[in-house]
Structure 1
Amino acid sequence: MNKNLSFEAVIFDMDGVITKTALTHAAAWKKMFDEYLKKREKEHSEKFVEFTHEGDYLPYVDGKPRYKGVASFLESRGIDIPFGDPSDNPDKETVCGLGNRKNIAFNQVLEEEGAEVYPSTAALIDELKKAGIKLGVASSSKNCKPVLERVNLLDVFDARVDGVVSAELNLHGKPEPDIFTTACDMVKKTYSKSIVVEDAVSGVQAGVKGKFGLTIGIARENNVKELKEAGAHIVVEDLEEIGGIEGLNKVFKEFSK
């Protein structure tokens, strides 16, 4: 490992940080919820109010485990339905059923359009790998593995903690730090010598709660203010602003004093 570097590991979120799939998720959530809300309008005479990106997706769903996102949004609308079971049919009116319905929509888009990576993130990952820095990916998504396979990055990471692993280990979702700390534990590095890179408010909150040496917020959603308020040490619109591994080291030293 490069002895000039002050940090030992970097844990990346996936959607919106490594891959351009955050908007794919957002579109799948909107499709599912709008269809469900229109159905409720017909069956319960509830006025249809569309699911919006700014008003609903970002505050209630973004970055959270799938079923937690469903429950959070429904609670915001005063809708009370059974939680159900993860094995529920997508047509079942439960939190899990709705979550499974959203997942079908996401996978259809992934199958048809594939996935892209952010060039600056891919370049930084490559630089970090060559320098011997341990790399982890921590995502709420149960689609993490297939997405990373699509963009040929699965084998780059020394640890992967996603929605599937979280369920197996019974981890708490963001804003709790479990997925980040578990990824860090897997690569046998201390939190204070590690970096979290996130684009969601709940993810930044998780990095801060985990007492990581540096938590970087990437403002893909014109949400610089929200990420700073969540506790991010530094907020950028793209990782190219960091200045590669040397820039990252400089920022880490500045904030981990």
Structure 2
Amino acid sequence: MKSIYFGKVSMLLGIACMALVYSLTGCGNNTQTPKKNPIDTAVHTVDINALIRIADTTLTDNKVSVFAQDSLTSKNETIYIQVTGLDGAPTTDALLDYDVVMDMGMVSHGGPYYPLVDLGNGLFKAEVVFIMANMDDMGEGWVLHTILNKKDSLSFLLPIAEAKPARTIPVGTKDDGQVFVSLLLPNEVQTGAQSIGFTLHRMDHNVFPPLDNYTVEVESFMPDMDHGSPNNETAIGEGNGRYNGKVNFTMKGSWIIKANLFKNGEKVSQEELVFPVEVK
């Protein structure tokens, strides 16, 4: 198996402390019983040649490869897992399951992730929230564990660097403890009104279930010009920890998105979340 490591990344001290509290048992994320992978029935096109190969390994009858659209960082990421025969032909009847674990050496912890989606032709899509970056000299870092056809266990080291600026931020809440809020917006966007998405996951010991029944109030603000913009819309829940709203950028430059969590009309996040955005 071939794996790629990135250089030195900074330590998220608060999350590491939580890992020490919750990972003394050495368990990973919640495991799932292998079953038929859900099939993506929407129109989709994934050009495997345009993706970055992260790692691969060869079995007796199959080759399993891990891809990403770009370098992986500590945020909500999409990764792709391809199963082929040794001749490179897609394995169309593969059954695949997975989870992710952050190996910090003395301790380990899991992270939020969604079920695999079967894209067809031996290609699967996984959505994972990497809540921290790999750290030098502290374990193997993030590890992708897969089970192929209920019998072959494969592990891949994932090179997770620190996202700059941050796109996944932990925040304390009134009722649900620590919540990881992930902004689903590129670092650079165009002017004008556009959709803005978030995922929310709460930390329950060593599992990270999606968090529903919230709203995310958003405000766009331009610090250099000391003004905001009109027509922002609160992100409302779409189920499975996903939220979608609108944000408006009226001119080019450096902006920030201020986000606050609400539940039943009451603000419940202990502090305001700030996400920088460059508007081109």
Point out which structure has higher relative CO (alpha carbons under 8 A, 6+ apart): 1
What TM-score results when the alignment is normalised by the length of structure 1? 0.27
- The structure where strand makes up a greater share of residues is 2
Q: Which has the larger radius of gyration?
A: 2
What TM-score results when the alignment is normalised by the length of structure 2? 0.25
